[in-house]
Amino acid sequence: MAYPIERKLVVGITSSALFDFTAEHEIFQTEGLEAFKKYQIANRKKPPAPGAAFPFIKRLLGLNRKFPEQSPVEVVILSRNDPAAGARIMDAIPGYDLDISRYFFLSGTSPYPYMKAVNACLYLSTDKDEVKTAVAEGHPAGYVLPCAAVDDELDTQLRIAFDFDGILVDDEAEQQYAKGGLDLFRHHEIEHSARPLKDGPLMPLLQKISIVQQIERDNPQQINDRDKAVRVAIVTARNAPAHERMMTTLAHHGIEVDELFLTGGIEKKNILDVLRPQIFFDDQLGHLEPASGSTPCVHIPFGVRNTSPLPI
């Protein structure tokens, strides 16, 4: 019988998003593919350092230990490496105590089309162009920004932060902003406050996470517990009264979040530095780049924010 991966929360990730292969990429850029492969093979027993997405993946996989009966998570390595160079990655995984057993090594071929084969609701890569192409083709893919954040081994809670427009929902409201600025945006959102927004690229991911959250909600002692296994935050530039349509949309999906920040244009880094999520998703590099020095950040190049200039 086939493995029921369609029942899991599946994340596909490249090896360079999980591990820090900066030096190896430099070899590839300056000396070519063969030199890169030789280096990887020669250093097979030398574990690479954790990369920007490592804290997120480690805690995501930790949900399987916290909920062993459901074992809700699957992480699949989707890599451009060939199998010989990929052996270094497979050797490193057990040493970091990561429960990853599924690997696709594609010898230079783009990995993201295989998302459908594993039912992935997220693909993480450090290749900007690849991610842009994947999103244009309708895949929930994100570019992982460089980040030197230190992973706290004693902190096992998974904290995920999302922007709202262009991430969890489509860019309908942002298109209004593009047409007429803040006044038209607010008028449009108030007028349509009772109508849910359409899904954005990461709504399926949030829905899968919400299933895990429900496991804890079924235990009355876990309600509003700051130490529960996973906490979800929305950090949005919206403020009142534009929040009403957002709340309508979340209620439509039966989704509850743990933290909601209606920033109204306050620098998001200020919130993220206190919240300390292991990953933050946004459709604007202008919000991500200031935060990425201390918070692992992912750019989702979706919608009007990434296709046309907007009014200041």
CA dihedral 280, 284, 287, 291 (to 10 degrees): 40
CA distance 209 to 203: 10
**Domain closes at, from 99, 117, 144:** 144
Q: Is the pLDDT of residue 287 over 50?
A: yes
- Band of residue 311 on the pLDDT scale cut at 50, 70, 90: very low
CA dihedral 89, 92, 97, 100 (to 10 degrees): 20
Backbone angles phi, psi at 5, to 5 degrees: -65, -20
CA distance 144 to 166: 17
234 and 194 in a single domain? The answer is yes
125 and 175 in a single domain? The answer is no
**Domain closes at, from 85, 118, 144:** 144
More confident residue, 170 or 225: 170
Q: Is the pLDDT of residue 193 over 90?
A: no
* 169 falls within a domain: yes
* 153 falls within a domain: no
112 and 76 in a single domain? The answer is yes
- Band of residue 1 on the pLDDT scale cut at 50, 70, 90: low
* 282 falls within a domain: yes
**Domain closes at, from 116, 144, 172:** 144
The CATH number for 263's domain is 3.40.50.1000
203 and 96 in a single domain? The answer is no
pLDDT digits (tens, 9 = 90+) for 134-148: 999 999 999 999 997
What is the domain range of residue 179? Answer: 158-306
25 and 112 in a single domain? The answer is yes
178 and 279 in a single domain? The answer is yes
What's the predicted TM-score (pTM) here?
Answer: 0.93
pLDDT digits (tens, 9 = 90+) for 203-253: 999 999 999 998 888 865 555 566 789 999 999 999 998 899 999 999 999
* 265 falls within a domain: yes
